[in-house]
Amino acid sequence: MRALFISDAHLRHPSDTNYRTLLAFLDQQQGNLDALFLLGDIFEFWIGYQHVVFSEHLPLLTRLQQLVSEGCQLFYVEGNHDFNLEGFFGTTLKCTVVPDQQIVDWNGQKIFICHGDLADPKAKSYRLMRAFWRSRFLKFMAKIVPPDTAWRFGNYLCEQSRKKTHHHHDPSALVLPYAEQALKQGADCFICGHFHYPLQTSISEMKVTVLGDWIHQFSYLELINGKAELKSFQDSDFSDASSDRVH
């Protein structure tokens, strides 16, 4: 059994390098993937309309639909840029949507999956903002605000967030205490994203993995029959995949 874990692609436009690279990567997985875990911030902005998707998202959604049609299980942990996913992902893609965190039983392992944005217990202002974006009020607004308006507003907020982006450092000081909670709950491994910093370590016998991003590192975790390996999809892999599609 083979599963892949990806996070923090922050996809915006299909012409962007990271977007095209992710599509090429998923094309290579067709017919050879049992589960795909998306651990948040795959999109730069997803507000969660029930029956409407933004056109920029369609290329990725098409690839995901193809994988699901081949029998691939799809899991999606909501991040801080993509939330209220249940409407489309749950209904149309038959995806298991995880709003916060969850232990998933998969292929004989108990896998604790989360985005990682709740790892800092001192970030109280962020937690309040996070709760607001997932509130009933915002879900109601998503029903009445025209999609084009929501798209412009969402991208404006993302641009403001980009201006405040800080350098990414080793998140061990935050992640390891957070992962200990998963260990106490009986998890065999802990996997998160959010920090844009690839890391593999362990607590006791529990494996801990922090996924890198899919912007510069093209980082992902491959899990095959219980063996987990953190990898990077290299430029040469993308070139080979592009060449295969042309011919």
Give me the pLDDT at residue 174, please.
Answer: 94
What global pTM score does this model have?
Answer: 0.87
Query: Is CATH 3.60.21.10 correct for 2-246?
Result: yes
Which element (helix H / strand E) includes 27?
helix 17-29
Burial (CB count within 10 angstroms: exposed 0-12, middle 13-18, buried 19+), residue 59: middle
119 vs 86: which has the higher pLDDT: 119
As a whole number, mean pLDDT of residues 155-169 equals: 61
Q: How far apart are CA 206 and CA 182, in angstroms?
A: 9
The structural domains of the chain, with segments of one domain joined by +, span 2-246
242 vs 40: which has the higher pLDDT: 40
Summarised one tens digit per residue, pLDDT across range 118-137 is: 999 888 888 887 887 777 77
